[in-house]
Amino acid sequence: MLLEVRQQYTFYGVLLYVASTIFVLYLAMGQPEAAVWKGLFWMMQLFICVNAVAKSFLQEGKERLLYFYSIAGARDFILSKLLFNALLMVVMSLVSLGLFLLMLGDPTSDAVAFLFISSLGGISLSLVFTFLAAIAARAQQSAALMAILGFPLVIPQLLLLNKISTIAFAEVQGGLSGMIALLAALDGMIVVLAIILFPFLWKD
Amino acid sequence: MLRQNWWKILCAALLLYTIIMGFLGPVPALPILDETIRNLYFHVAMWMAMMITFIVSVIYSVKYLRSNRLVFDIYALEYARIGIVFGILGLATGSVWARWTWGAFWSNDPKQLGAVIALLIYLAYFVLRNSMTDLDKRARIGAVYNIFAFAMLFPTIWIIPRMVESLHPGGMGNPAFDTKDIDSRMRIVFWPGAVPGWTLLGVWITTLRIRLRLLEEKVTH
């Protein structure tokens, strides 16, 4: 099932999108200071996520979905989607983090910790958007709907991530583990909800 | 039971009691808060009523998913609507309160931001519903989203604002409902009067709207 989902040809498209956007940012901004860097980074993650994850449901035609339906249950399907998108976003986060460090400079005090944080952020964004893409794909006008549903829902996560990265940027790091635990709990909640609720979306 | 009149009379009596006691009743004199503490009967009670109606709404959404009866979907929708109304009123009363205690109607406090985000998430529920025309599909996807939105209420309203520094009571080392803040004279108005009063008003409005919706359905089908 995982291999099935893995046949994605959008991967290089998104990769190119990431690279070119960061290059444009570099041309426009040069090397910004830490607060701007952080804001830009998470906004980039958000847009990458909308572009990469939204495609996972929207691009598949009715026939393909029907085919998946015939070979796998709803739960396996949403789980594999969640897993695949999480992996995709981790890769994307790492690539964009690398490009950010290369082009926009390195304001992080601890690059390894930030590596971990950005992949965690990528995972949590991808989980929310996978579930939303599933909802939006069932309602027809999907792309616009994704934006309307998605942005309020990711604000709490973005706030948390911003908070976490502020702590990570600072020299004195306190309260980091609590915030990360909260984010992980939020992710867990979304996964559980997706698994429970997806079969209802999947019918018909 | 809901067709009977006693609870409507009770609702009006409780609200009358709340409003009279709210404006005229004795309150403890506290620095900064002064007389604005009376807003407790309105602002806090609005949020409680919102929470209660959202809980009712999500229960009906679950019921809909279990039974597929469209009536439950209408119930869930209307309770979510009245929840939004209470949310907006809670925000408005809160910002009036903030004007006199924190100095500005809006100060980007985490609690205010969380409340706005939660309301936006719920407003997206109505947008989502309106984007579909097929009744069953709309009901099903709406119910799924409603449950999801309800789950998102907890991080946005209850958890995140409490973890960061906030001017709002209930934050770090700044508890609300402390014995220091409100005394028994206020409690006797707040719990038996304000909270059930506003909630019953919400239920009343909602049952009227549900009856209207059901009649409309009958006429069109």
B160:A156 CB<8 A: yes
Instruction: Give yes or no for a contact between A193 and B147, defined as CB atoms under 8 angstroms apart.
Output: yes
pLDDT of amino acid B174:
45
Interface membership of B163 toward A (CB under 8 Å): yes
The partner residue sitting opposite A138, judged by closest CB among B117, B141, B159, is: B141
The whole-chain average pLDDT of chain A stands at 78
State the pTM of this model.
Answer: 0.86
pLDDT of A3 over the 60 cut: no
The partner residue sitting opposite B137, judged by closest CB among A138, A163, A197, is: A138
Q: Which range among A78-87, A185-194, B48-57, B87-96 shows the weakest confidence by mean pLDDT?
A: A78-87
pLDDT tens sequence across A143-177: 677 777 888 888 888 888 887 777 777 665 566 77
pLDDT of amino acid B72:
92
ipTM of the complex: 0.82
Q: Residue B125 belongs to what H/E stretch?
A: helix B110-130
Q: Which range among A102-116, B31-45, B87-101, B157-171 shows the weakest confidence by mean pLDDT?
A: B157-171
**Residue B72 Cα distances to A197, B67, B91, B140, B208, angstroms:** 17, 9, 28, 11, 15
Which residues in chain B are contacts of A178 at CB distance < 8 A?
A: 163
Q: How confident is the model at residue A117 (pLDDT cuts 50, 70, 90)?
A: confident
Q: How far apart are CA B66 and CA B68, in angstroms?
A: 6
pLDDT of A4 over the 60 cut: no
**Residue A201 Cα distances to A54, A78, A87, B129, angstroms:** 16, 11, 24, 14
* pLDDT cut 90: percent of chain B above it: 28
